[in-house]
Structures are given as C-alpha cells and as structure tokens.
Amino acid sequence: MKYIVVTGGVMSGLGKGITMASIGRILKSRGYKIVPIKIDPYINIDAGTMNPFQHGEVYVLGDGAEVDLDLGHYERFMDVELGREHNITTGIVYSAVIERERKGEYLGQTVQIIPHVTNEIKARIRGVAVKSGADICLVEIGGTVGDIESMPFLEAVRQMQGEENGNDFLFVHVTLVPFTTLKEQKTKPTQHSVKALRELGLQPDIIVCRCKKTLKEDVKKKIAMFCNVKKEAVISAPDTEDIYEVPLLLEKEGIAAHIMEKLQLEQVKEDHEWEKMVERRRKSSHGKKIRVAIVGKYAELEDSYLSIKEAIKHAATELECKVETKWIEADDLEGAGGLDSFFDDVQGILVPGGFGVRGAEGKINAIEYARANKIPFLGLCFGFQLAVIEAARNIANLKDANSSELSETPHPVIDLLEEQRDVNEKGGTMRLGDYEVFIRGDTLAEKVYGEKKVVERHRHRYEVNPAYIERIESGEVVFSGTDRTGVRMEILEIPQHPFFLATQFHPEFKSRPNKPPPPFKAFLEACMRKH
C-alpha cells in the first residue's frame, strides 16, 4: 500500500481538501485505485451538530455519516463512494481508546497519547486502506501544523512513515506564499511552516504553494533551498476561478511526475475525461446566462451550501449555460411586503435545507411567490417541507398549518411519524444516508429521472403527516415520490406549474462533474425556457 499524507501550514482554508482531491484525480486518471481519508482534529464525533457558519456545510455520505465538506470534494473529484470510516476525528479516536480502557483491554497499562492514541489512529488508517483494496491511500490532516489538536495525528503518521517501506510514503505540505503591497512573493511563512513540520520529525517531499499568481523561478529556488526539497517539488498553485481546473494546473506544474518517481509508480493508463469536462465548463461559461435565487438562512456564508453550488455548476456544464446565483437571506423576506424587488431579475428560485424556525416564514414567502408567479422552483429537504406547508395553507386552506418542529399548530402537516415518537423522546434519530425513492408514473418526477426507482441521500427527522396527505393533494399538488411503504412522502410537484418540484432528499450530495443530479438539470432547463 502506498500512502500520501497532506498537511497544511500558515493558515486554514488554503485548499488542502481541493489539493488532495486533485492529486487523487490525477492518480485515478493514470489508472490507480484511490482511497481518501479525512482527519479532523476537532473533538466532535462528527460534523452533524456543527454550525454551518463555523464549519461550512455538513456533507452526508451514503451510509448516513455526517462529515466535513472536504469529503464532498473527494467524492466529486475522484468519483468514489465513501463511508463513515473515511472520516477520523479526535472524538472518534478518544472514544474508542476510552472504551477499550474501560473494558480492560490495555491490561492495566497507563493509557497515554503515545502509544495508545497513536496506535488507534494508525490502525484506523491502515484498516480503511486495506479494506478498500486500493493502490494508494490519501490522508488529509485537517487544521495547520502547530495546532495542539493535530499533534497526535502528525505523530501517528510520523511513526507510520518509519514502519512502512521508504518508497511507499510521501508527504505533501500545502502552504501560503503571500504578496506584499509591492507585489513581492514572500517565502518566510512557508519557511516557518516547514520548520515547524520538521521539528515534529516530518520532512515534506512536495510543497504546494498557494499564491495569487504563479510562483517566480527564483522564489521556487529559495523555498527549495530553505525547505530541503528539490526545486521541481515546489509546486505553484495560483488562484483559479474554477476549482475543477486545479488538477490540470498541478499536472502542468509536474506534481504527477514527482509523485510517480517517489512512490515508484508506473503509468497504468491515460484518461483525458477530466480535461474534456473542464473544456466543456469553459465553453458553458460563454453560453446562455440565467440567474437563480437561492433563499437560505446561511446565505452570507456560501460554503454552507457548497454541494448545491457544485450541483448547479455540474448541471450548467451539461446544458452549456452560465448560471449566476443571487443569494437571499430568508430573514429579509419576512414582513417585506411585496417580493418583486427580490425576484424580478431571476429565472428560478431554489430553497435549500436548514434546521430551525429562523427564516422559515421567509422561505415560505419565497415558495408562495414562485408558485403564484409561475417561476421555476426547486425545494430541497426543509425546502420540500416548507413547500408542503405553503400548499396546505394557501391551496388546501389550512390557514394555521405548520411543522410541529417549528411551532404548536392545530394542523401539523409536518410532524414526527408515530413510530418515531418514542425514539425521539430517548434522544431522537434522523433519517440519514441512502434510501430508495419510488416514483409514480406519468409525473414530472418520472420525466426528470426517467425511471421508477432511485436511491438518494437524506438528512431529516420530520416527515409529511400522513393524516393530511389526502387534503393537500385535493388541490393542485401531487406527491409523486414515496418510500417503499408509501407512508413517507419524498417528492412534491405541481403539474400545472412550468416547473415546481421539491424533494425530501438531497440530490446535490450525489452530483458529479460529469453526472449532474436530474432535479438540478431539469430545474435549470426550466429556467432557460423562462429566460
């Protein structure tokens, strides 16, 4: 097994995840099977309870794991299906070690960071690598070198390097080369970052330098000299408008050749699909322009809806159109009176997921506006539930209809199902990950998907209340998708509308650059017709 470990220095948010995803893509294009692992040093067990303002979107894997958004980059770039074992956190590691200690598995030893915690980390990395049957295991260590939380993980990979064959382990360090006001590229932050790494016993084989513009040759030489790497191993990673160009930029810089040489790899095949996709994306940027409003409660931090942004990009590439997104805070639509000023310049309205009462009424107002004004609409998860509430209030005439999650109401059209109630009192469970969705014939949903059964990822607890389904459907609304039992509603549509579709699931989580999710593609097609 070959291992590539990606670390970061100077500051967070430099793009370690994109760098590792790009390396994975490059190696996959050469015929190698890749398995990625993301290490998050925070003490949380997973990302499920973390605030999107602090951490960006919570990404959901097929097995229901709630993880860091970087795993979304891995799945999209490498076109792989990951599970909960691919995300290792401090919380997971320490919980396992403490549980073993309580069971007496350490036979009375004093349990310490070294060797017990580091052994647990190594065992988990190797376990995932071996189970996958991959050729190369990529490991991203979150945070920055010097963070106290990262120390056990850096020590664990240091030990692993000594335990593995010398040609089977490679370190990539991502760092920052800032510009001064005089347009000078400064190497000191990179030097200090690598110095901190070397003090921990780790020597990078490749240094990926994030910068505004391509590194000058003398800057590369200086970094190579002070950081003890070959000049060819100093890789320039300048800013780019499109993250999908990063693998091509790194390839052009020669990163692949350096990795192949160090790990003694031979090229198995040559795949140019990624280059073709990037070229299509460039072409689509000159295509028909449309504008879509996204009404969210975290609109000021777009990373909260990262997978939605990427799914829109993927669909736009296939349709050869350019999509401009207009971010609208849901709070601003509450008590705003007329909404024409918010939506008169858009061809479509999208209402994404999100928990809690804040902004809910604003989202409902946006949904009503889209329905009444025949503007193409796509609702996702909570957006689906709020579309049900809007239909109950304004079509089925249940004026006080609401979700029991949001308020006390005589008409809880969104509620916990009977079998969920006892479970919820014991702490609650969510419907997470892949579930089958069965689609009714002769519906918009069937036209969108082209099949009667699909598997989509979920992240919700509340459901459409079965007691109200008949009353809601008595108007112009149709529930065109359900679970296997027919009790849980999965898709809502309005046949008389140009395009009005809402899904209880998250189709954006399965989107790929070469395979956009059908609801997004159909939504943008409707927006293009509206334009």
* Residue 8 parent element (H or E): strand 2-8
Of the residues 310, 456, 490, 508, which is catalytic?
508
Rounded CA-CA distance 464/438 in Å is: 16
Kindly give the pairing relationship between strand 463-464 and strand 411-415.
Answer: antiparallel
Token readout for 275 is: 């280059």
What is the DSSP pairing of strand 348-351 with strand 411-415? unpaired
**Burial (0-12, 13-18, 19+ Cβ within 10 Å), 331:** middle
The verdict on whether 506 is a catalytic residue reads: yes
Residues 490 and 464: their CA atoms lie apart, in Å, by 9
Q: Residue type for 68, please?
A: D
What is the spatial distance between Cα 46 and Cα 68, in angstroms, rounded to a whole number?
Answer: 8
Kindly name the residue from 137, 173, 506, 527 that is annotated as catalytic: 506
Helix (H) or strand (E) holding 454: strand 453-460
Sole residue written with tokens 């996709």:
277
- Paired with 434 in beta bridges are 457
Instruction: For residues 299 and 110, give the distance between their C-alpha atoms in angstroms, rounded to a whole number.
Output: 49
Question: Which phi and psi (to 5°) does residue 422 adopt?
Answer: -65, -40
Name the burial class of residue 517, with classes exposed (0-12), middle (13-18) and buried (19+) by CB atoms within 10 angstroms of its CB: buried
C-alpha count within 13 angstroms, C-beta hemisphere, residue 95? 10
DSSP string, 189-256: HHHHHHHHHHHTT---SEEEEEESSPPPHHHHHHHHHHHTS-GGGEEEEE--S-GGGHHHHHHHTTHH
Choose the catalytic residue: 140, 381, 490, 497.
Answer: 381
Four-CA torsion 390, 391, 396, 402, nearest 10 degrees: -40
DSSP 414: E
Distance CA 27, CA 46 (A): 28
Percentage helix, strand, coil, to 5, in the chain?
A: 45, 20, 35
Query: What is the token pair recorded at 341?
Result: 């000023």
Query: Which residues on neighbouring strands pair with residue 140, listed in sequence order?
Result: 6, 38
The values of phi and psi at residue 33, to 5°, are: -85, 130
Active site residue 508: yes
Residue 310 CA to residue 314 CA, distance in Å, equals 6
Q: Closest by alpha carbon to 517, among 312, 287, 256, 334?
A: 312
φ/ψ (deg, to 5) at 148? -65, -35
Assess whether 173 carries a catalytic annotation.
Answer: no
**Mind telling me the catalytic residues?**
381, 506, 508
